Structure 1
Amino acid sequence: MNLPEEPMMLYSFVNMKLRDSYPTLDALCEDMNVEKAEILRRLKMVGFEYDPERNRFW
């Protein structure tokens, strides 16, 4: 699946998926066949970090 290119859209999309459908970022990445490192890198560039306890970026 293609993820949104624009960082804020990616942030919103990934957090929505984590909230509604996936218990972890690893589960999302495996199911959607996307690279976890790429999501982490792209969102870190704009100041977001993944919090596994809350299962969301912020």
Structure 2
Amino acid sequence: MNYDSLPNDPVMLMSFLNTQLRDHYPSLEALAEAYEFQVEDVVAKLKSIDYEYDAKTNQFV
């Protein structure tokens, strides 16, 4: 899969990423590698709706 297959809507993206992080990936970096996206791009997009990645809980909060 790649970045283009991720949801475009920030809320849907956050939900998708949190599900993937919870169920399949130990870190945002591992998820980014699998989906071929830049961590900074996703972090910036979700920051626009006031969500930030929390490495301790491995989710966007």
Shorter-chain TM-score bucket reads: over 0.9
5+ long unaligned stretches in structure 2: none
Q: Which amino acid counterpart does residue 9 of structure 1 have in structure 2? A: M
Alignment of 1:1-58 (within 5 A): 1=2, 2-58=5-61
C-alpha distance after superposition, 1:12-58 (max 9, x if no partner): 00000000000000000011111111110000000000000000001
Identity %: 41
Two-structure CA RMSD over aligned residues (Å) = 0.6
More relative contact order in 1 or in 2 (CA 8 Å, sep 6+)?
2
Give SS of 1:41's match. helix
Provide runs of 4+ in structure 1 moved above 2 Å: none
Number of matched pairs: 58
